[in-house]
Amino acid sequence: MIHPSHFAAVLLFSLFASTVFGITMRDTPRKMVRYGAYCFLLFVGSAIVLSWVMFLIAR
């Protein structure tokens, strides 16, 4: 049984999902890496932004 923090779970989820998205959605290795990195940043960035929004709403 493992107990990752919420942020660690976000990072793991984003890493694996972005890898699959990059490979399957683009044709060339260079584009795959760029799209995978783009998806990863969007996953993590949106999680951080939404977390702050929820934090400010809850105050």
Partner 1 sequence: MSTTPNRPVAGKKSDKGFVYLPLIAGWLVPGAGHFLQGKWVRGTLLAVSIVAMFVLGLAMQGKLYTSAQDILGLLGMAGDLGSGLLYIVSRGLGLGAQPTQTTVADYGKVFIVVAGLLNIIAAVDAHNLRTGRKQP
* Torsion angle (degrees, nearest 10) of CA 10, 13, 18, 21: -140
Q: Going residue by residue from 1 to 40, which x/- string records binding to partner 1, judged by CB under 8 A?
A: xxxx-x--x--xx-xxx-xxx-xx--xx------------
Long-range contacts of 16-23 (CB under 8 A, 24+ apart): 17/43, 18/43
Minimum gap (Å) between residue 17 Cβ and partner 1: 6
Nearer to partner 1, 9 or 41 (CB): 9
Among the listed residues 42, 51, 34, the one whose alpha carbon sits nearest the alpha carbon of residue 13: 42
Q: Which residues bind partner 1 (CB under 8 A)?
A: 1-4, 6, 9, 12-13, 15-17, 19-21, 23-24, 27-28
